[in-house]
Structure 1
Amino acid sequence: MGVPLVQGLSGQERREPRATGPGARGVRCVSQHPTGRPGRRTRSGGASRGERTPREARRRLGPRRPAPETARSTGQVSTPFSRLGARRRAGGVAADRLPPGQHLARGWPVLHYGPVPKKGLDGWDLQVFGRTASGHQTRWDWDAFQALPRTQVRADLHCVTKFSILDCAWTGVATTALLAAAPPAKAVTHVMVWAEFGYSANMTLADFASPQALLVTHRDGEPLSAEHGAPLRLVVPHLYAWKGPKWVRAVEYLAEDRRGFWEERGYHNRADPWREERYAYQEGDGNGPPR
């Protein structure tokens, strides 16, 4: 993963944790807690009294299954992946509203990679850099960003972990307005969107500039919560949600494609939910740069 101009947004160099998949900041849903508590070891090496050994536990629980990673190494989520499929809204939904493999969620599951940033708006900024038409970067503090034209888009959100939420009223700044305020050079074909802690997501310039793509501050008239990406997240409704990072801090203009955080880790470079483009092994020739 390349190093953005905004290196050190979190205030210090951070060692990249081991990851398992994308979800709402584009992070795959992983349980916060291990599936079991191993028995404490005694001096003789056996399990302590009253706790089953692993062999006894397997007899009771069935075949061994891989335990999910803990929040310490993979980030924090509020809903285990195994339960998301069961959280479906009652009543019928037209078949053409949900992409293949998706389920309708109740509410808005909170999924993300890493901790929730604790910073306020003092010192916050949004940068555009890379292959700009002017050759210079553009920067907005929060007040200046709020002065950009505002718009509202009603659109769905589809997470690669297979939940969808429908008919969201997103409010924010259209990506086309950002492109107009800080134009890319003619050679630009792709963008990399950077977020807190060095998270990134790549996409074509055409996808970034799509009519419904929005740098979001509000959903359904309410400000985003910190867990859902406040103060600013990207929403690109026609792509899986990991392409719309939470806690956005910068946009980099690229003259050639470069894989982002999850795209380097086995997830599809394009991420079209209607084609169910979840994983890199599904990519055909020309669908992305080498990993």
Structure 2
Amino acid sequence: MLGRFFKKPSDDMGGRVPPGQSLTARFPVLTYGPTPRIEPHNVEVRVTGLAEERTFTWADLMALPQTTHTYDIHCVTHWSKLDTTWTGVAVPDLMQHIQLKPGATHVLIHSYGGYTTNLALSDFVRPLNLLAHHYEGAPLETEHGGPMRLVVPHLYFWKSAKWISGLEFLDHDQPGFWERNGYHMRGDPFKDERYSDD
């Protein structure tokens, strides 16, 4: 399978390919548990924790500025996909409508279906991060996190939570699902931060 669908690059392609990764033209589907199926009009992103509580509806999110970015993505299972194009709400644009309380340093991302993953606030608010609803110009497929997922391209892709439903702001780093099960708390692919003992 590796030879058919994945290609080991001869070099890091000018710093684009992290150590231990192979390139793929496909978009593998990797999900723990059943796939939630949510209609766009039912999507809500609830803000809790160290922030003024509020809920963003699908209509609220579509009313915000929409941004398109093209970048590379990297999965902890050793595949990378280059030049992927996503459209959605840039996290800094969303944060203009979120009032944080003193002491907030991290955010726990919640998903429909119960999945969670953690991010330092500094990793979350980067300009390239999106609450994405389109991929390659088409509505995001359910299997890839549609109708809306978080995309955090500078970290391994398990941090880019599918089917996003909530943002819980915290004063500490709290492990999410895969972090509780041995994955690295941050997950920088260029530092090969795959597992908690890396």
SS at match of 2:96: helix
Is 2:25 aligned against 1:88?
no
Unaligned 5+ runs, structure 1: 1-82, 283-291
Divergent runs of 4+, >4 A? 89-93
**1:171 corresponding residue in structure 2:** 87
Instruction: Note the 1:2-81 alignment, pairs <5 A.
Output: none
Match of 1:242 among 158, 162, 171: 158
Partner amino acid for 1:226? T
**1:39 corresponding residue in structure 2:** none
**2:69 corresponding residue in structure 1:** 153
How many pairs are equivalent?
197
Cα RMSD between the aligned structures? 1.8
Task: Decide whether the 8 Å contact of 2:64 with 2:93 is kept in 1.
Answer: yes
Instruction: Note the 1:221-236 alignment, pairs <5 A.
Output: 221-236=137-152
**What is the deviation of 1:126?**
1.1
Is 2:180 aligned against 1:271?
no
Structure 2: how far apart are the matches of 1:90 and 1:201? Answer: 29
Task: Decide whether the 8 Å contact of 1:89 with 1:106 is kept in 2.
Answer: no
**2:44 corresponding residue in structure 1:** 125
SS at match of 1:281: coil
**2:176 corresponding residue in structure 1:** 260
Task: Decide whether the 8 Å contact of 2:111 with 2:163 is kept in 1.
Answer: yes
Larger radius of gyration: 1
**What is the deviation of 1:122?**
4.2
**1:11 corresponding residue in structure 2:** none
Unaligned 5+ runs, structure 2: none
Partner amino acid for 1:88? F
SS at match of 2:88: strand
**What is the deviation of 1:140?**
1.7
Structure 1: how far apart are the matches of 2:139 and 2:133? Answer: 6
Please give the TM-score of this superposition, normalised by the length of structure 2: 0.93
**1:111 corresponding residue in structure 2:** 30
Please state which structure has a larger fraction of its residues in strand.
2
Partner amino acid for 1:97? R
